Amino acid sequence: MDHKKSLELYIHIPFCVQKCLYCDFLSFEAEKQLQVEYMDQLRSEILSSGPWYEDCRVETIFIGGGTPSVLDPEQITLLMQAVNKSFLVAEDAEITIEANPGTLLARKLPVYLAAGINRLSLGLQSTNNEELKRLGRIHTFEDFLKGFQSARMAGFTNINVDLMSAIPGQSLESWKSTLKKVIMLKPEHISAYSLILEEGTAFGRHYLEKGKEQTSFPKGEVGSEDGADLDELSQWPELLDEEEERQMYYLARNLLEEAGYHSYEISNYARSGFACRHNIGYWTGKEYLGLGLGASSYVNGRRFCNESKLDAYQKLDFSLDGLEQLHGELHVQSRREQMEEFMFLGLRMTEGVSAAAFTREFGVHIDSIYGEVLRRLEKEGLLVRNGRHIALTQWGIDVSNYVLSEFLLDAGAEERKDKEE
């Protein structure tokens, strides 16, 4: 009998052509030589990490960023060779690479397939070129169409398309047009996220911090290298209000479900058999190892994050104690934190959380910890119990931030209730 533990891998490629206005990911521009040096170091990390996980089988791999497709495709081949040499990868593993339509040259796609990558995630965001420009994206809808067609011709049979609603100045009709155009292409998976304003981004500085008088961008973001004003973005559009965002969410859900896409998570839709296994792993508490600059991990109840400064990462010697320096301080989750996270992540899934799984994981019935909260939220119409599963209602999804906050435990609550059992 095979007793290998399941493990997911996330591999971070921090490079991009230019920083989008809404992006708060660890990403930046880099010359080819720096990209090569980083990938050499990343492979060293992978080869040094593998022996620590000999009791594991890798079920999913996600190569994200940044923009992994900005690399020369040969770098992806070398990357996957290092992974396969160092880890036991399941024969049916789901292996995803993120790609920006502006950097997805047709010649790269057969190389990805030959390297074992079987899922492509395309960051479209919108089919409206003005909205793409507004976001700071480097591609057009026409670039996306070429990339999508090339991927199909190369042999990709599992493609995700990322879409974004609540873009400043976006209308309900424009969002509907984006959805319909993408549905016509019949990708296997569609992620439809609403714009979130993050501090430290260009959007965040404008909409959250400085107000609408800002019309210039720091170096490294959209615009000329000295951060000069952009005429075409000199007038910042209004943000959408909550009701408009809600209408866009329901429009997406209705159109996608009518087209045969199952809503299996608040923002993710898939045709039968194509739900993203890697992301489901995150939401259901599977262990994952992050590889590369700033990547996060969750292994054996411990969370840790890799060195996030490129200079420091490049100097690590993985033949000595580089991994210890790379991971820094380990955070061992308390039982209370594990319970909270079980609820936060699980309730994002359409089927919700399993009461039986909660008992298996923590050795107590879910009602002994959350009974009062569950009864109150159910009475308010925010939760529903379907057999042994507990899920958000449509209203619960609308106010999910409030609902999820209700599952925070005070430090002594769980221990007290355990004693009462």
pTM to 2 decimals?
Answer: 0.90
d(CA 208, CA 332): 34
26 vs 49 pLDDT, higher one: 49
Supply the pLDDT for residue 322: 74
Banded pLDDT at 2 (limits 50, 70, 90) = low
Which bin fits 236, alpha (ψ -120 to 50), beta or left (φ > 0)?
beta
Q: What is the pLDDT of residues 369-387, one digit of tens each?
A: 999 999 999 999 999 998 8
| Structural domains of the chain, with CATH | 5-197+239-283 (3.20.20.70), 336-420 (1.10.10.920)
Could you tell me which residues come within 8 angstroms of residue 231 by beta carbon, excluding any fewer than 6 positions away?
Answer: none
pLDDT digits (tens, 9 = 90+) for 238-265: 889 889 999 999 999 999 999 999 999 9
Alpha carbon distance 302, 297 (integer Å): 8
pLDDT in tens, 190-237: 999 999 888 888 888 878 775 544 444 444 444 333 333 344 444 678
> In 3-state terms, the chain is what percent helix, strand and coil (to 5)?
45, 20, 35
- What is the average per-residue pLDDT within 274-290? 96
d(C-alpha 266, C-alpha 97), whole Å: 22
pLDDT exceeds 60 at position 353: yes
Please give the residue that has the higher pLDDT: either 221 or 308: 308
Question: Is the Cβ–Cβ distance between 181 and 173 less than 8 Å?
Answer: no
pLDDT digits (tens, 9 = 90+) for 124-169: 999 999 999 999 999 999 999 999 999 999 999 999 999 999 999 9
3-state secondary structure of 64: strand
Q: Cα 117 to chain center, whole Å?
A: 18
Task: Give the pLDDT score at 210.
Answer: 57
